[in-house]
Chain A
Amino acid sequence: MKKNNQSLVFHFNSNTILETNPELVRIVFYPEYTKVDFGYVAYDKYYRGGWITMAEDTYIEVLETGERYKLLLAENIPIAPAQHYFESTKDWRYYSLLFPPIPKEDCTLNIFESEEGTSNAFNFYSIALRMSEGIAIL
């Protein structure tokens, strides 16, 4: 019982700089919700860095079970059709998405903003999580 209530954090650090997607940096399993943290760095493809938004029907899919967890809340990024406009090509934004709690079992996640998988969609595929690698939070 105690183990199930334990919050766990997973770290992700890629060494490549992605231009089209935000960087997935952390996933936190809380008993009440699952929180996914991202960092987005504006770049010079768009005037003044362009804008970002998050689709309301964004969800996490657990590949092993096929279960879907729909977005509950977005922190520091607006839900479409609202947009956050950057002021320069050197801006950045840290934001988080909150989903319902995912069972604390080894799993592989997809995060879908758009099932079509367009280059502009904030989609992430095959995120493997081993619970033994999660770090307990106080």
Chain B
Amino acid sequence: MAISRSAYRRYKVIDSLLRNTMRPYPTIINIREACEQKLDLSPSLDTLEKDIRNMKLPEPDGFDAPILYCRLHKGYYYTNPNFSINSVSLTDNDISSIKEAMELLRNIGGNRVGDRFGYAIDKVLTSFKETFPDGNSKRKIIQTDYVSGARGFENFDPLFNACKNKYPVSFVYYSYKKRTFKSFIVHPVMLKEFENRWYLVGFSENHHALRTFGFDSIYQPLLLKRKYIASKQMEIDVYIHHLHGVYPIENQEVQRIAIETTALISNYFEAYPIHKSQKTNKLESGGCVFNFELVPTEELVRLFRSYGRDLKVLEPLWMNELVKNR
């Protein structure tokens, strides 16, 4: 349930009255008078009583505020005198930074992250600002290549949950190459995004090894009550640190990969290193020899092929052949 901005402003007034030790136990009439003074509006008594009920609701709908009515003093009070709906202090700079981060997240993560995070952050920010000016959210100032509607992205939340809590997952997977459906049990390690596509990396019981599964081919994941099989950290590290892409070529270890590029293409590799292990040897021609320490992947082969004659694989030789044989 979203909380309106006007309700937040009244909550702020109620909170300040309940925390005022000089004039404790405000009555509902006192609260209305304070709203008239501070907000320049006169809410009905019903509205204010509803506000108090809502503030007492557990999060995320309310603030879990410990408000009680004291029959002796005929007014409201916090049972925990240290309670406030503003329990974190934020400076204007903090608030500005959060808004920028939110805008960035909306652009990168699309609506899925943006909406959920946005609601939580709206709540935080409106607690601190009497007025919460609308951001110019429709004016896009960062554009990423995110396109909504990707198949399988609706499974992001359950798969994220499975990774986070180490729940094995059952799902049906369709292989584009083999044109077969198979059911899998995977012990998830992480979600990985590469070139705007999302993948699940986990220990596959079917393969007895770490494998990558594209979100687009995963159908109806079910979280399982089953002992989680933890993958070896060394194997996970390969996926985290030594891959360009997501699908390692079978039976290949981390190895030195060397390419030679023309002057034109060298500019791009220098400007946008494809891996942290990238090392550059500039040639007199303006071209470069780039060295990497990587596990060869299908995506790396595809990248090298995309440069045609402007790129030559020097090492390993088998990769040179693979890139040439398109």
Interface of A toward B, CB cutoff 8 Å: 9, 11-13, 17, 23, 25-26, 28, 37-39, 41, 90, 92, 94, 96, 135-138
Contacts and interface: CB of A to CB of B under 8 A. Distances in A.
Contacts of A25: 172, 181-183
Nearest to A136: B225
A136 B224 CA distance: 6
Given A94-B181, A138-B223, A13 B172 contact: no
A13 B182 contact: yes
Given A26-B183, A28-B222, A136-B224, A92 B170 contact: no
Interface string B157-200: 00000000001001010100001111111000000000000000
A28 B54 CA distance: 41
Given A9-B224, A28-B222, A135 B172 contact: no
A135 B181 contact: no
B179 A26 contact: no
Interface of B: 167, 170, 172, 174, 179-185, 206, 219-220, 222-226
A135 B185 contact: yes
Contacts of B220: 37, 94, 96
30 contacts: A9-B170, A9-B224, A11-B170, A11-B183, A11-B184, A13-B183, A13-B206, A17-B179, A23-B180, A25-B172, A25-B181, A25-B182, A28-B222, A37-B219, A38-B181, A41-B180, A41-B181, A90-B179, A94-B172, A94-B174, A94-B181, A94-B219, A135-B185, A135-B225, A135-B226, A136-B224, A136-B225, A137-B225, A138-B223, A138-B224
Nearest to A35: B220
A26 B172 contact: yes
A52 B127 CA distance: 56
B181 A39 contact: yes
A15 to B, nearest CB: 9
Contacts of B172: 25-26, 37, 39, 94
Contacts of B206: 13
Contacts of B219: 37, 94
Contacts of B180: 17, 23, 39, 41
A136 B227 CA distance: 11
A26 B182 CA distance: 9
Nearest to B180: A17
A92 B184 CA distance: 18
Contacts of A12: 183
A38 B219 CA distance: 11
A96 B183 CA distance: 13
A79 to B, nearest CB: 20
Nearest to B223: A138
Contacts of A135: 170, 185, 224-226
A138 B170 contact: no
B119 to A, nearest CB: 26
A106 to B, nearest CB: 20
A39 B170 CA distance: 15
Contacts of A9: 170, 222, 224
B146 to A, nearest CB: 25
B174 A92 contact: yes
